[in-house]
Structure formats: structure tokens, C-alpha cells
Homo-oligomer: A and B are copies of this chain.
Amino acid sequence: MSSMNKLSATIRTFHSSAARFKKNVEFTAVRYPYLKRGNYSFLSDRHLGFFQSILSPHQVLTDEINDLSGYNVDWMHSVRGSSRLVLRPKTTEEVGAILQYCNAQNIAVCPQGGNTGLVGGSVPVFDEVIMSLGLMDAVISVDELSGIAIVQAGCVLEKLETILHLNNLTLPLDLGAKGSCQIGGNVATNAGGIRLLRYGNLHGSVLGLTAVLANGQIMDCLSTNKKDNTGYDLKQLFIGSEGTLGVVTQVALHCPSKPTSVQVGFFGINSFDNVLETLRLSKQNLGEILSSCELIDQSSLECVTSQLKLKSPDLVNHFPFYILLETSGSNADHDAEKLNSLLEMLLKNGTIVDGTIAVDSTQATNLWTLRERIAEALASEGYVYKYDVSVPIRQFYQLVDVMRARLEKLPIRCCGYGHLGDGNLHLNITSQEYSSELLNKIEPFVYDWVSRQRGSVSAEHGLGLKKRDYIEYTKSPTSVHWMRRMKKLFDPNNILNPYKIFPGTLNE
């Protein structure tokens, strides 16, 4: 009886949207008019009927205005697709059935997690069917002793963190978007963030995962073994492949013990050489408790304090550079002693000019706010040209200087901040309005400069749609060739997140 009810509900929803699905609209990619839609099937009533026959009504969204608009556009409103259908599977098997059908029917699919990406990787470009993992949000198990958590892909990072904290564990990753990003999306994009310095990246922290391949096959790599050398480590393929090789549905994560003591220091520094010396001495003296080492330049700090009316840190002066240091440990007295003697040493030998250590968690939060809200402050000034690059540590700030010289006399702000300890710079250039002339002065120059340092043109944001054309600034033609061959092997019909990662078409 219940399947009968489901079927009639199915047919009702289906009728309401039938008219829309009958015509084959010419789709164009908003803001990417030169892109051509792949030769995929247009969604038909028959297709919708199938999805409605295997899913419940609330798992099939077709109302473009009320339901789909949020799924079709990224959170920065920089990329917009024209999907007419969102599917919300609740199990790995449902993901499998959907993909098997899409593969057979040549329907393109855009997998979507929390849709917090910065490169347009999680929204459709044309009319790809959106597969949202948001209903698969269960925390399946957390084990304090082994530090292993098993979760469904759609679980929001902050929800998982809260549960881990109750078990004296913490997440090996932390990022600004944690209130909405999902662990499956984090894995698919190899999300980095502010704890990478301490806990490494997801290639090390993910113990296992389940992924569904383009043909619907379920690849069970959901191992919870910290050590397992039995053949190729296939799970690694899916980490950072941005949903183009398979859809991650479950993740087993190795979670470190929750630190019981967190200390935050904020230092003012007069030269970049002294910034590097501060990093060196911090690594040497804080060693195992150093959990973040973030650089903020004067222009970034000035922007965040003035635009957001935030109080400057309590230092004697303005400085060209600031470092925010965080320690995470298991003994507050020990950690404070280590951080205080570091501060003393740095002041005494003139490496830093002034510094402050947060006395309580409110002060610590206030200092972190200065770092975390820079992006928001910059956005409020106008149009932001954003670059997330990795460069060798000694050249970390050089790119900011180079760009300032190149854009001299233009009415812009050019600033740099980011994960100094990991060599990951966020270069930002703001102008009152978007200008293609300015863009042409920045790109491809900036990618070329990074390439010449053997850096990465996308350190943590991925390539998605917006950066796919720059892949060869970081990866060799041979590497890109083999990436394409792997894509072809795992997804011969190219139905999974097409138009992403690779420039041109896949058969080029």
C-alpha cells in the first residue's frame, strides 16, 4: 500500500512540472557564454517519472523558484546554473540507483554538498541534475578510544565537531564555512583550513570512504584501519577530485584528541625576514603544540578593523606584518609557559616589536575574528579579485609586492594574508567595481608568477569551473593527460560534474 501511495504522489508532482520538461531549452552558462553544453539528454517526463518512482516526494525537487534557486547558484552568487531537478538521496544505494540510471540515459549530474565552494565546483553550469547529499547527514559512530568517526557525507562539519567534542575528540580540519559545509564536500575538495599545519590534510586523516561511481557501482572503501597496505589505496582518488570520479557518500575519519588548552598570541613585526624568523622560532620552540601560524598584513588588518568596526589588537603601533599564533595542547600551564617564553625571546632578540597573548577565550576569539573576517571586510569594499596560492615560504609575500608594483597608481587595495605555516597565501585585490581591464592586468600574470615558483594556483579552493583553465600552470601536461585518462576510465560518458577541473572538453 505504501508503495502505491508513493506512486500516486509521484504522479501528482510529475504532472505539475510536466509542461516544463517537454521543451528542450537552449541553455547558456551564465557568465561563461563561451562554454558549450555537452551532448547530454534533456530532462524528460520519463526521466522524472523514474526518479519519482524510486524516491519519496521530498527527495525530488522541481519547483524552480521556491526550491531550486538556492541549489543553482553558489553562495557568492558568482556562478549560476539552470538545473530543473534536485535529487536528495538518503542512502548510498539510492545514489547508486540514480547514477546508474543517469549513466544509462546520458544525463549529466552535479553532486552538491553544502555549496560553500569558491570556484563554482558545486553548482551546475547548464541543466545538470543536482544531487544534493544534504539528507544523508547521520553521524553513524564515534569512538573515543580509537578516535574513529564514521559519518554520512551530508553531515555538516560543525554538527560533527560538536559530537566529537562530547567524546573528547576534535576534527582534524576547521574552516570558516563549518556551519554549512558538509564532510563529503570537504573530502571531495580536499578542504584545508586553519588546522592543516597541525593535523595534515585529508589524504592522511580519511581512513576510508564509500563512493558511488558514475555507472552506479558502489565502491566500498569504508575501512576504519589506520594501516592497510592491501593493494592500491583507491579512496585517495576521490579525495580532492571534486565529484568528477565518484560521489562520496560515507566517510571514516581519524580524529585527534580534543586539546584542553588553546592559547592565542598576536605579534607585530617590522619586516618579512622577521616574519620568517618568527615562524622558524615558533616551530622550534612550540613544536608539537603549534596549531596555527597565520599572517595578516597591514592592509588586511586595516580593512577588517575599519570596515567591520573591530577593535585593533592592543599593540604599541601599526606594523607592516602581524602573525597570529595558536597553540593547542593538553596542559594549559605548560602551553602558556612555552608561548610566554617564545614571546619573551622574540621581543628580546628584536624579531618582533610588540606582541600580546590572549588572557581568556573572549580575547582569543577577538584575535581570531581579525583573521577570519578579512574576506568579508574586503567584499564590503567592492569587487574582489581573489587568489589562493601556494608558494615557497621565502617567496610568500613577494607576490603581494610584485602585484602592488604592477598595479601602482590604480585605485585598488592589494593585500595578502593566510596560512603562513603551510605556505598558503590569500592574495586579494579589491576595486570599487569589476573591471575587465584590471583583470587582464592581474591574470594570467599572477598564475604565471606562481608557476615560475613551482607553486600552486589553487592551494585549497580547488579548480571547479572558475579555475579549470589554469590547471597547467601547476600541473605538467603529462599529469593532466593522465588525469583525463583516469576520468575517462571511471566516467566514460563524462556524466559526473562535467565542465569542472579540465579545460576544454574531455576528449581534447
Q: Which residues of A are interface residues toward B (Cβ below 8 A)?
A: 144-147, 168, 189-190, 192, 196, 200-201, 203-205, 217-221, 223-234, 236-237, 239-241, 245, 257, 259-260, 276, 279-280, 283-289, 328-331, 334, 337-338, 390, 392-394, 419, 422-424, 454-463, 467, 470-471, 474-476, 478-480, 482-483, 485-486, 489-490, 501-502
* Complex Cα spacing A225 to B456, Å: 7
A457:B230 contact, CB within 8 angstroms: yes
One of B223, B283, B455, B467 near A456 (C-beta < 8 A) = B223
Given A233-B239, A456-B228, A144:B287 Cβ within 8 A: no
* Complex Cα spacing A223 to B217, Å: 33
Contacts of A489 in B (CB 8 A): 485-486, 489
| Total copies of this chain within the assembly | 2
Contacts of A189 in B (CB 8 A): 229
The minimal Cβ–Cβ distance linking A400 to chain B, given in whole angstroms, is 18
* Complex Cα spacing A460 to B458, Å: 33
A331 (CB) vs chain B CBs: closest residue: B338
B479:A221 contact, CB within 8 angstroms: yes
Given contacts A201-B226, A223-B474, A229-B240, 7 further A-B contacts (CB under 8 A): A204-B205, A224-B454, A228-B474, A230-B463, A232-B245, A232-B483, A287-B329
A479:B233 contact, CB within 8 angstroms: no
A259:B240 contact, CB within 8 angstroms: no
Given A225-B390, A280-B144, A330-B288, A478:B230 Cβ within 8 A: no
The minimal Cβ–Cβ distance linking A56 to chain B, given in whole angstroms, is 28
Contacts of A201 in B (CB 8 A): 204, 226-227
Contacts of A223 in B (CB 8 A): 454, 456, 474
Contacts of A237 in B (CB 8 A): 232, 236-237
A259:B231 contact, CB within 8 angstroms: no
Contacts of A260 in B (CB 8 A): 287
A276:B145 contact, CB within 8 angstroms: yes
A328:B288 contact, CB within 8 angstroms: yes
Contacts of A501 in B (CB 8 A): 231
* Complex Cα spacing A467 to B201, Å: 30
The minimal Cβ–Cβ distance linking A246 to chain B, given in whole angstroms, is 10
One of B227, B239, B338, B419 near A419 (C-beta < 8 A) = B227
* Complex Cα spacing A83 to B239, Å: 39
Contacts of A221 in B (CB 8 A): 476, 479
Given A204-B201, A479-B219, A257:B230 Cβ within 8 A: no
Contacts of A478 in B (CB 8 A): 217-220
Q: Which of A200, A225, A330, A471 has the most CB of B within 10 A?
A: A225
